[in-house]
Structure 1
Amino acid sequence: MVAQSELTDAEIDRIFHALAAATRRDILRRTAMQEQSVSTLAADYDMSFAAVQKHVAVLEAANLIVKRAEGRERLVRADPATLARARVLLTQYEDLWRARVDRLDALLAEPPRTDPGERD
């Protein structure tokens, strides 16, 4: 189902695993709006800096974010290319299910068939 130019099964697994946690989804949302340091991100969560670093590492492994060094800080930003590729995949799933629902709707809209042996 997945073409080579699209996401591999392993990439899809990493993306969905990364997006399974609310904290990681929030980090992705925040870094999509603006590049931020890991320290700035960590300040807004009720968890240790190390825990936030682990969340960032999961997002980075899924290629959902890009981390770069600037002096002593590590800056994080969302990777729009990977987000776009994930959006394409989700659109494919949506199209698949919409087509199935449309076929079901068409089937249910058909008048009931009568058996020639049945009497009214």
Structure 2
Amino acid sequence: MEKYLLCCNWVRTSFWLWLVNKKDQELIGYVFLDKRQNATFVSGLLIGSEICHPTRENDSQSVLCCQNSLYRLYKVAIETLNLPGRALIVPAATVDRAATAGKIKIFEHQNLTLNKTNL
């Protein structure tokens, strides 16, 4: 629960810092977003705060490892926050292959376990 509250506080703080740095003319454009634009905007806020938070604590390296649907968003966030030197970006195709290989391993293990049980 504490981590959840910290995350909520971080997102709220990130949003207000972003809001304070915008000019009135820019904000008007954000009032009239359609559903897709709004979802992308909110995703950007969440991804930005997710990436930015751990990097402020220390100089540790982050690893970006996600599927194609989120890969571009996270990559843009890393570049926007000027963190490419501290981020290891695993190509989305590699992540997809690893996920598939992992699912096959789980299936093989489950299948082997079930076969031993039925003997």
- TM-score w.r.t. length of structure 2: 0.31
Compare the two structures and name the one with the higher helix fraction.
2
Compare the two structures and name the one with the higher strand fraction.
1
The one of the two structures with greater contact order (alpha-carbon pairs below 8 A, sep at least 6) is 1
Bigger radius of gyration: 1
